[in-house]
Amino acid sequence: MKIITIVGARPQFIKAAVVSRAFQKLGIEEKIIHTGQHFDPNMSEVFFTEMQIPKPAYNLAIHGVNHGAMTGRMLEKIEKVLILEKPDLVLVYGDTNSTLAGALAAKKIHIPVAHVEAGLRSFNMQMPEEVNRILTDRISSVLYAPTQQAAENLKAEGYGNFDIKILIVGDVMLDAALFYADQLKEKPTEDEYFLCTLHRAENTDDLSRLKALVGGLNEIHKSTKVKLPLHPRTAAILQKNDITLEVDTIPPQGYLEMINLLKNCKGVITDSGGLQKEAYFFQKACVTMRDQTEWVELVENGVNVLVGANREKLITEVKAINNKKLDFSMNLYGKGNAGEEIAHSIKLLFK
């Protein structure tokens, strides 16, 4: 049995590493294609060694072009690899252009597709990721839903009528967080701080939103430090528009460094998708600077709150963290064995 896994961004490598470890235990052959979608200088030799991640068999080096051109080039190159390798199954993760291109390339030449993180919905079709998720789900043979809500989204869209298997397996990022946290050489920090990220295009490309959020973060920082790994793109936009960010900015951090910052922070302020979940994994309250979230169960259970780009609401909700008594005991994302569940099911379904 041979699996081809397709990834294109650093978070997808971390997710894929979880399942790759399970494949190795079961003796399943896997080859990884890296599309090159996100050119990340942190993905050096040290990254693969430190994170115990298998190196890609193929690197397509496709990045730095618009959505249509990127997806088209990936489709062409991935198809060539699949014809050469003749895998039994193609495995894709999440919602990037790499995800959709990999699923399309496989489906066109009649190779079954399995989609990890299926069924997530923001219900905002302006997001390229939402389009990628929906199309990938529809052409997959197996959908691995991370949560009950994700499975319910699929059923509401009529997936029960399709020849597609839907399995609730838990979230592979919980597996990753537990695995790497256990290996982490913890570096305690001396001050209280909120961990913050600010990089989503809906916030950085809309100057009215960006100014409102920066104003809120600057105000919060006056009473409790805000520590923000600053994305180069965000930094360039701030500089170009003469917007002053008065928080404690630090360089972009690797995954292990972010886990350490998470474990030691007072709470999380973010517009990231993954960090909302990771805050929950490490029992931290989260304030999300977005209008929607795919992780609705976090909001429904009171451990995450959406503030959009409302400056005053941002300040109020972050201050309220001090008085919140939150319940992190809910089993929202499985038991930390999603990778094993996925690998075992693949062995049974495609043997």
Residue numbers annotated as active site: 199
Distances (CA, A) of 133 to 147, 208, 299: 15, 29, 21
Measure the CA–CA gap between 172 and 97, rounded to whole angstroms.
20
- Given a contact cutoff of 8 angstroms between Cβ atoms, the answer to whether 146 and 152 are in contact is no
Distance between start and end Cα atoms, the chain: 7
CA 294 vs CA 71, 131, 133, 170: distances in Å: 23, 13, 11, 15
| CB burial of residue 253 (10 Å; 0-12, 13-18, 19+) | middle
| CB-side neighbour CA atoms (13 Å) of 13 | 27
The DSSP output letter for 55 is P
Give the number of residues written for the chain: 351
Are 172 and 18 in contact, with CB atoms under 8 Å apart? Answer: yes
Strand partners for 162: none
Helices (H), the chain: 10-26, 45-50, 67-85, 97-108, 128-139, 148-156, 172-183, 201-204, 207-221, 232-240, 255-264, 274-281, 296-300, 311-320, 338-349
Tell me phi and psi for residue 251, to 5 degrees: -65, 160
Rounded distance, CA 259 to CA 242, Å?
Answer: 32
User: How many angstroms separate the most distant Cα atoms in the chain?
Assistant: 59
Q: Which residues contact 14 (CB under 8 A, 6 or more apart)?
A: 51, 53, 173, 176, 255
